[in-house]
A and B are shown apart, each in its own frame.
Chain A
Amino acid sequence: MKRLAPLFAASLLTFGVQAQANEDLRFDPEAMAWLCAPCHGTQGRELYESMPALAGLDPEFFTQTMLDYREGRRATTIMDRVARGFSDAEIKAMALWFAEQPAEQWNPEELNHAQ
């Protein structure tokens, strides 16, 4: 784990979520991310639709896009309303969760090999 320390520190700096970033993160990031699945696919991995996949997105891009929706800086039909349900810290936590997911179409058959 020691070798990971520099990367860990780097990601903290990148997102400006230093120690107190957990401020009021009242929700499990995965529980928040699961709410996106009806439109964006299981684990955000629906690649063949106009509502875009979220899996594997650059977390800075995800965060900035959500903030732009929330603050009315980006045209949309529904995402402004959705984004207004989340705090900065919650958006960042979802960004990091989706960044972990493979940017591949969700395929339940992969579960069979997940021993």
Chain B
Amino acid sequence: MPNNSTILSRRELLKSAGLGALALSGIFGASHRAYAKNAQHVVVIGGGIGGATFAKYMRFADADVKITVIEPNKEYITCLRTNDVMVDLHTLDELTFSYDTLRNNYGIQFLFDSVSDVDFDKKQVRTKQGEKLSYDKLVVSPGIDFRFEDYEGLSAEIANTQLPHAYKAGPQTLLLRDQVQSMPQGGVFVMSPPAGEFRCPPGPYERASMFAEWMQRHNPTGKILILDPKNTHSKYGPFRKGWERLYGFGTDNSMIDWLALDEGGKVTQVDPKRKLVKTENGTEIKYDACNVIPNQRAGKIAQHLGLTDASEWCPVNRNTFESEIHQHVYVLGDSTIADAMPKSGNAANTQAKVAAKAIAAELKGETPGNAIFSNVCFSLVGSRYGISISAIYEVRDGLIKPKGQSAGVSPIVDSPAQAALEAVYQKNWHRTFVKDVFG
């Protein structure tokens, strides 16, 4: 038994630090195959990155609690890596994950249905198919919704059929792929990233990069024009250095051009019939393919349930992610106001873990510990050129802030190894990350 002794000694050490009970929480003694009738019930609305991670780690944090996820779709396609699908480096099938492992191995129940309403006083969720579920704690992980109304001529219908945002994985991913890949030689692909807070802040710039690499091979006289309603963006320095190195950025021959807000980059109108967009200063720009990624707000169900404030995002207690509007209700991921944390899958994943620990503590009548979060986000500038942004986060003065000196982007160095390794790690991260969410 030498191994066990060693393990116990380490637990003792942790206990001496006053953390024994927390350190010992986990899967040991799991009894999730048969819940007691009086088991407490945690209901999760939304089986995306936040909701699925939460369900899995709720099981780690509490072996006995009953967990039910309500999700309309039987499979989840990660938005992560859909930029690769558009240039044929991945298929959507490779980004599609089932809930079988969470259901079969973690004892999590799935109800494939949509929520119609929540009675916060009775602590009861009603679904569109007429189910009623009582909860002790409710977790909502609603993702994002688009502000089509910010662009004259744009609507959900037009995005589905003519001007795909391709910012949720699915048919629009393939529609945009086909539109860009079928541009005439020398054609112009116009992109309009969102303003304000939005999902995956480096996403639009990675997308431009991946299409630039594709066009180098298949449409070398084509151009990508980014019309930006901002004067800067995520990973600004590393993207620019990468574009200089790979796509001639800053020269007359650049494959990518970027017009900032101050240079007239804000798109206010779209006209898919005439294939043009109009900017704030009235300039009309013709395109051969176009990707307007609209401004965003909290997912529809968060708005419907009244979990949003005037900003159209969800205010939460930063230490637990409990809604500041409704007690016993927690909100995770892109929909939340999380200060310095970006709206990323990795951020949602660690918010989910914080909420799981906090809920487990509260269900036992204990006080939740201090929250700690992380974000690691890799982007590709080319299929063999990766860049990253990362930080550890804690709560200070009621806000989520980077911890220590951890926040930063990839250094710009002469050695090609940095970018080559980060491209390897980018693929590695996606494979491992989805296992941490769904496996």
Contact = CB atoms under 8 A, between A and B. Distances in A.
Contacts of A63: none
B436 A35 contact: no
B372 A32 contact: yes
A108 B28 CA distance: 13
A29 B439 contact: no
B421 A77 contact: yes
Given A4-B8, A42-B435, A96-B13, A78 B428 contact: no
A35 B352 CA distance: 11
B310 interface: no
A39 to B, nearest CB: 6
Nearest to B378: A78
Contacts of A77: 388, 410, 418, 421-422, 425
Contacts of B107: 111
Size class of the contact patch on chain A: 35 or more
Interface in B393-439: 394, 402-408, 410, 418, 421-422, 424-425, 428-429, 431-433, 435-436, 439
Interface in B19-34: 19, 22-23, 25-33
Contact of B353 (A21, A34, A99): A34
Nearest to B388: A78
Contacts of B57: 34
Contact of B406 (A22, A30, A81): A81
A8 B8 CA distance: 8
Interface in B267-307: none
A3 B9 CA distance: 10
Contact of B436 (A29, A38, A82): A38
- The interface centre, meaning the residue of B31, B370, B392 with most chain A CB atoms within 10 A of its CB, is B392
Contacts of B373: 35
Contact of A100 (B7, B32, B424): B7
Q: Is the interface of A mostly helix, strand, loop or mixed?
A: helix
Given A39-B428, A111-B27, A27 B12 contact: no
Give the most central of A1, A99, A115: most B CB within 10 Å.
Answer: A115
B164 to A, nearest CB: 28
A96 B13 CA distance: 9
A115 B106 contact: no
Interface string A14-54: 00010101100111111110111111111000100111000
Nearest to B408: A81
B376 interface: yes
B433 A27 contact: no
B388 A38 contact: no
Interface in A66-115: 77-78, 81-87, 93, 96-97, 99-100, 106, 108-109, 111-112, 114-115
Given A42-B439, A46-B435, A106-B435, A93 B14 contact: yes
Contacts of B391: 81, 85
Contacts of A109: 105
Contacts of A37: 349, 432, 436
B308 interface: no
B174 to A, nearest CB: 27
Contacts of B23: 28-30, 97
A96 B10 contact: yes
Contacts of A29: 14, 19, 22-23
22 contacts: A4-B5, A7-B9, A11-B10, A12-B13, A21-B17, A22-B19, A26-B370, A41-B432, A46-B432, A49-B428, A49-B431, A77-B422, A78-B376, A78-B410, A81-B408, A85-B402, A85-B404, A93-B19, A111-B32, A112-B33, A114-B27, A114-B30
Given A25-B17, A35-B374, 10 more contacts: A4-B12, A22-B17, A30-B22, A42-B435, A46-B432, A49-B428, A78-B388, A93-B17, A114-B29, A115-B30
Interface of A: 1, 3-4, 7-8, 10-12, 17, 19, 21-22, 25-32, 34-42, 46, 49-51, 77-78, 81-87, 93, 96-97, 99-100, 106, 108-109, 111-112, 114-115
